[in-house]
Amino acid sequence: MTEPDLQRAATAIEAGALVVRSATGQLAETSSIDADQVLAYDLAHAAAAIETARSMIDYGAKGEPEARLTCVFVADVIADLAAKLWGRESLWGVGTDALASTADFVAAWRDPGVLSELAFEDGPRHLDAEFDLVQETFRRFAEDRVVPEAEHIHRTNDDIPEPLIEGLAEMGLFGLSIPEEYGGFATGGESDFYGMVIATEELSRASLGAAGSLITRPEILARALEAGGTEAQKQTWLPRLAAGEIMNAVAVTEPDYGSDVAGVKVAATRTDGGWLINGVKTWCTFAARADILMLIARTDPDRSKGHRGLSIFIVPKARADGHGFLLTQDGASGPGPDTQDGASGPGPGSGTLEGRPIDTLGYRGMHSYELAFSDWFVPAENLIGETDGEGRGFYYQMAGFENGRLQTAARAVGVMQAAYEAAKSYAEDRVVFGQPIGDYQLTRAKLTRMAAIIQASRQFAYSVGRMMAKGEGKMEASMIKAYVCKAAEWVTREAMQIHGGMGYAEEYPVSRYFVDARVLSIFEGADETLCLKVIARTLIAEHQDQEQAR
């Protein structure tokens, strides 16, 4: 067995970081992101992987298994970077020997024999007693309450049972990120983020659609309120969110505008006592069950102002049927597509809100909708920030989405963990050609790489949480989402493959993990947009600042 060498691992990471810096300089000085999108995209993912690897060095110093997983992960990251460079060295601004110094280290820790020997070794998480209790508490709830419902919800596209939501509210899930003065549990320190990440992972391990994503939307709205809400708005909404008394959805995307938020068309026009909302939103997850919508709309009709003409509203609505709905504000109600019962919405006027369900291959239970607003009335006091909030909606939304990206990474870790555990169990029990498939080198090497990816992703999530507790880590929150969500596709795919034909059957939950993982790189900022418009741009801006400071 090769002995772990963390110093060599750290040196390899720095060699990779030099390549990233070189490519950033190339992109900043000789080209542009739009002209070289392939380079910018690969650069963003390489930078995210390098930072994920860097977060493993401290973890690796905590023991022998930790050090071995760290070396395996770092070797994989450098090998993947080398593949990106091959034949494109001039684009990256490096020579063909840019990573030559890492060759021996990578060869040692990608050796199939080494990977095989390390199979079934996961590595401890090193949580302190407080967070061990958080993990144990949410895992017990997930095992006892979520797992028995997860497959039914997935296979029938059923709604999340109310007892699950009520149970999580009683446990304080929805108040983890809301300040204590508003009825939550957040104290402004690292523990706020640790608790959210750990709880999210454990719930997502049981089911992404039935539990792991329930905190996402309250998290986004709470951060937006903290960033721009008036004190009266915080007092009105945050305690109710923290208690789970109300649940919210987020309505941002439109049929013609997804990540390009600046172009949204849904309009809010002034009327007596408030605003009238008109237009269509799409991919609004959890919209039927939600009591309120966090909606971004154009309050300035001058579209040339782009994102500066957008504002955020808290839009009350009645709970509705999960398979389509039509709500009215004149006291009447009517069924939406495929529904039997309607529900009425509060407020004056005769506005309507219709929700058309969008069927998806995974992530079921949350349900996504296309929403059509027609003169839907929203009181003036529900504009976040009120008068001061006009035109500030984009910025308030981004404040919410930064936390949402870390939370999404935690969801990805939970899904990966579930897939890995399923693959391990199946590999130990399934006998092929006279022996368990867990005895075969190929299976064992896959399991080792899965374990290394999952532990690195988890440790980076903890690291980003620590940064965000200090008001930092915006870039890293984007990086962790980019890296971890894409990694989840590989881990769940290989877990499914280890199951062979049974992996393709709904009889085993690994097929659910696979289809659920696929959505992670799409929502909360599509992977391509996140890499090109956020990570690559930020890398270039930081490079230019450093050059100017010299």
Q: Determine the pLDDT at residue 101.
A: 96
Residues of the chain with CATH 2.40.110.10: 248-391
DSSP per residue over 15-44, as a string? Answer: HHHHHHHHHHHHHHHH--TTTTHHHHHHHH
pLDDT in tens, the chain (550 residues): 567 899 999 999 999 999 999 999 999 987 678 889 999 999 999 999 999 999 999 999 999 999 999 999 999 999 999 999 999 999 999 999 999 999 999 999 999 999 999 999 999 999 999 999 999 999 999 999 999 999 999 999 999 999 999 999 999 999 998 999 999 998 888 888 888 999 999 999 999 999 999 998 998 999 999 999 999 999 999 999 999 999 999 999 998 776 666 678 899 999 999 999 999 999 999 999 999 999 999 998 887 777 789 999 999 999 998 789 999 997 444 333 333 333 444 445 689 999 999 998 888 888 999 999 999 999 999 999 999 999 998 888 887 787 888 999 999 999 999 999 999 999 999 888 889 999 999 999 999 999 999 999 999 999 999 999 888 988 999 999 999 999 999 999 999 999 999 999 888 999 999 999 999 998 877 899 999 999 999 999 998 888 788 7
Which residues make Cβ contacts (< 8 Å) with residue 194, sequence separation at least 6? 127, 131, 134, 462, 465
Give burial (CB, 10 Å; 0-12/13-18/19+) of 32: exposed
Question: Which tokens in the block code for residue 358?
Answer: 């969008």
Please identify which residue in the block is written with the tokens 């050609």. 433
**Is 219 considered catalytic here?**
no
d(CA 12, CA 394): 39
Quote the pLDDT of residue 440.
96
**pLDDT for 262:** 66
- The pLDDT of residue 258 is 60
Contact 356, 334 (CB under 8 A): no
Catalytic residue of the set 117, 143, 524, 528: 524
Exposure pattern of 137-156 as b/e (b: 16+ CB <10 Å)?
Answer: ebbebbeebbbebbbebbee
Handedness of CA 409, 414, 420, 422 (dihedral sign): negative
**CATH number of the domain located at residue range(s) 248-391 in this protein:** 2.40.110.10
Range 1-110+526-550 classified under CATH 1.10.357: no
End-to-end CA distance of the chain: 46
Give the 3-state secondary structure of residue 545. helix
Alpha carbon 319 to chain centroid, angstroms: 25
Spatial distance between the Cα atoms of 71 and 450, rounded to a whole number of angstroms: 13
Question: What letter would DSSP give residue 4?
Answer: P
C-alpha to C-alpha distance for 527 and 34, rounded to whole angstroms: 16
Instruction: Give the number of other Cβ atoms within 10 Å of residue 166's Cβ.
Output: 11
What pLDDT score does 129 carry? Answer: 92
The pLDDT, as a whole number, for residue 307 is 77
| Predicted structure pTM score | 0.92
Range(s) within the chain of domains with CATH label 1.20.140: 1-110+526-550
Please provide the size of the chain in residues: 550
Which of 8, 9, 1 is closest to 452 using CA atoms? 9
Contacts of 71 (CB under 8 A, 6+ apart): 2, 4, 5, 6, 8, 9, 60, 105, 108, 109
Kindly write down the DSSP assignment for every residue of 157-195, as one continuous string.
Answer: TPPPPHHHHHHHHHTTGGGTTSBGGGTS-B-SSHHHHHH
What is the pLDDT, as a whole number, of residue 339? 36
